[in-house]
Structure 1
Amino acid sequence: MTPPDHTGTVPEGDRETVAEEDDPAHAVTLSVAAVARRLGVAPATLRTWDRRYGLGPSDHTTGRHRKYAPLDVARLELMQRALLRGASSAEAAKYALASPVRTPPTAVPASLTGGELDGGGPAGGRGLKLPVANRRARVVGRAALAMDSAAVQTLLADAIEADGVITTWDEVVRPVMAAISAKWEHSGAGVEVAHLVEECALAALVRATPVVTSPRNHRPVLLACMPDERHDLPLYPLAAVLALRGVGVRQLGAALPADALAAAVRRTAPAAVVLWAQLPRYADPGVVTALPRTRQQVRVFVGGPGWERGVVPQPADRITTLPSAADAIERAVC
């Protein structure tokens, strides 16, 4: 019998069925080591939380054996989620002890966003090199290393609501992604963390992008990657910022074939086309010059690190930062 949680089943060696199987608080008990593995923290961290804050096992067996019941684990998960939101250890413990516990645990309220991070376990933020002053990025980095996609999405949504898309992208998403990339270059680990952050950022940005039913621009803006370029995440904050300004965009996604791009230009007669290249080998000037001519002028913008040292053919314009790109496109089409 396994506790009704969201993290998976418990290894056979860590299971212990007790007499009161019908009582959810005592149905299964876990050792300190099993709970530590489940939460991704060190066993010493659990002992510290027990000693300092009283968040320990409710079932003490004979000798030195300490067993955590499902509701004990649920309370610890509440504390961990509060820590991932940026609460201090004391704040997180107070919240976990005061909250009504059920399994799985309740969501952590958005008010728990202050304080310092507790770097007690292997899932802590110390694994990523981020500026100490950048609290939001550090908290997102910790949640990412813990592979807690719900926390990452919630944190990014909170950041967008508080600071806007541009600030969240430049000061949270980009630094975290850069730190994950540096970790991978140094150790070869972290690809799964990068994918998780990308998916969470994509979801948060899509939710922050309104549907523009009455755009200020009479003809759309097409956002697309260069052929074979699959890194399209940077186009999503651009789409969100433009939509928030009332500019209608149509996203064509990653790795758009050249003939499909040409067909889209002919069918929509766009006011502007933005072509993204993350890698230099995809920044092909021939794709730009081969765009079909339309009766009305089409402004062409190229962006991404791939174009930084490459040739940008006329009449295309290079865009760099997210704010300047949004401003340039808005001026061109509105």
Structure 2
Amino acid sequence: MSALRAPDDTPGTGAPGAGAPGFEATAVEGLRLSVAAVARRLGVAPATLRTWDRRYGVGPSEHRPGSHRRYAPLDMRRLELMQDALAHGASPAEAARLALAALAGETTPEPPGPRAAAPGPLVVDHDTTVSTGHRSSLPMRGAGRRAHGLARAVLALDGDSTTRQLRDSIEATGVITTWDDVARPVLRALAERWSRTGAGIELEHLLTEAITTVMAQVTMSAPPPVSARPILLGSMSGELHALPLRVLRATLAERGVQTSLLGADLPIGALAAAVARTAPAALFLWSQDDRNADPDLVGQLPRIRPRTRCYVGGPGWNPTRLPPTVVALGSLGEASNVLTAAAGL
């Protein structure tokens, strides 16, 4: 849990708002926030805060039975540490222990230890629940700890944590594994949620931007390419999905493959001009929607010397309808291996 924020020893900076104009450190130290105010600051439901207090002891340090819960600055810091740990895949119990231990040396009275409670789900908001393991409130059957940690960050609209977790996963497991096992399950769950409820498009946009940013960072930090001829990556005309191409580009860049990313919604005339101008070693075309996966258009691409091999990917393609010279690839992992070989590496 090295990414947890360490307690800030700078006077007057331990509480939200302490650095804002017009706030005095002494006034902030005496501030007590209501459950509703804390819930708004952290982006969680009030019921979640009450559960954390009742079950794990991460609540107001000086709460008295019969009185309203009021959170002091130190209480807020514990909650922020707990939220960070949850975003990185810790279970609620693990996150609470980390938060309490991290600030155990502070002078404000410690909150009581965890209270016994009947087993049951941890309430996250009014219409979803998670187990007390590493799961998030997005239904992702079979997804692992990293995917659920990423989902928590996305649901909290925490762009920094979302980007950091993607970057950490890439460093630990690589680009393709991060895409397949961490990012895709969350994207798929968000899409299903949107189709079911019509809500959450802002969550998908935040995650898409984070993936785009991280993949660009991987591409830019890769060593100079060593392949002689580039690989062209593009989407079919009318196809607006280009995120898988950015993932593929980052993987190829790590392997020293020179690429040219042409992006989404590429008119067939522009694609033909790019092929004729660059004489790429291979061309890879993505189509998410079968309405855009036109095999006849692919067959019209110019034939050049030396030969350009043509590959397609994405759920929109029907392999049985493709021309004999066009090969469908079943995954980005397969595409990265095939295109690396096509580049002569």
TM-score normalised by structure 1 residue count: 0.80
| Counterpart code for 1:163 | T
Which of these residues, 308, 320, 342, is aligned with residue 332 of structure 1?
Answer: 342
| Whole-Å separation in 1 of the counterparts to 2:66 and 2:279 | 78
Alpha-carbon contact 1:24-1:71 (below 8 Å) kept: no
Unaligned runs of 5+ in 1: 9-16, 102-117
Mapping of residues 38-49 of structure 1, within 5 Å:
38-49=41-52
| Whole-Å separation in 2 of the counterparts to 1:270 and 1:253 | 16
Which of these residues, 289, 292, 307, is aligned with residue 299 of structure 2?
Answer: 289
| Whole-Å separation in 1 of the counterparts to 2:283 and 2:223 | 18
Unaligned runs of 5+ in 2: 1-14, 105-120
Deviation of the 1:310 alpha carbon: 7.0
Q: 1:290 to 1:63 in 2, by over 3 A?
A: same
Alpha-carbon contact 1:283-1:310 (below 8 Å) kept: no
Alpha-carbon contact 1:31-1:66 (below 8 Å) kept: yes
Alignment match, 2:5: none
Alignment match, 1:261: 271
Number of equivalent positions: 305
Structure 1 residue matching 2:29: 3-state secondary structure: coil
**1:147 and 2:160 equivalent?**
no
| Whole-Å separation in 2 of the counterparts to 1:329 and 1:91 | 43
Alignment match, 2:222: 211
Output one character per residue of 1:102-145: Cα deviation in whole Å (capped at 9) or x when no partner: xxxxxxxxxxxxxxxx8431286553211356222222222222
Deviation of the 1:307 alpha carbon: 0.8
Mapping of residues 232-243 of structure 1, within 5 Å:
232-243=242-253
| Whole-Å separation in 2 of the counterparts to 1:72 and 1:270 | 59
| Counterpart code for 1:219 | R
Alignment match, 2:322: 312
**1:191 and 2:204 equivalent?**
no
| Whole-Å separation in 1 of the counterparts to 2:223 and 2:301 | 26
Structure 2 residue matching 1:292: 3-state secondary structure: coil
Alpha-carbon contact 1:226-1:255 (below 8 Å) kept: yes
| Whole-Å separation in 1 of the counterparts to 2:213 and 2:71 | 35
Structure 2 residue matching 1:91: 3-state secondary structure: helix
Alpha-carbon contact 1:3-1:28 (below 8 Å) kept: no
Deviation of the 1:178 alpha carbon: 1.4
TM-score normalised by structure 2 residue count: 0.77
Alignment match, 1:68: 71
Alignment match, 2:92: 89
Alignment match, 1:106: none
| Whole-Å separation in 1 of the counterparts to 2:320 and 2:236 | 14
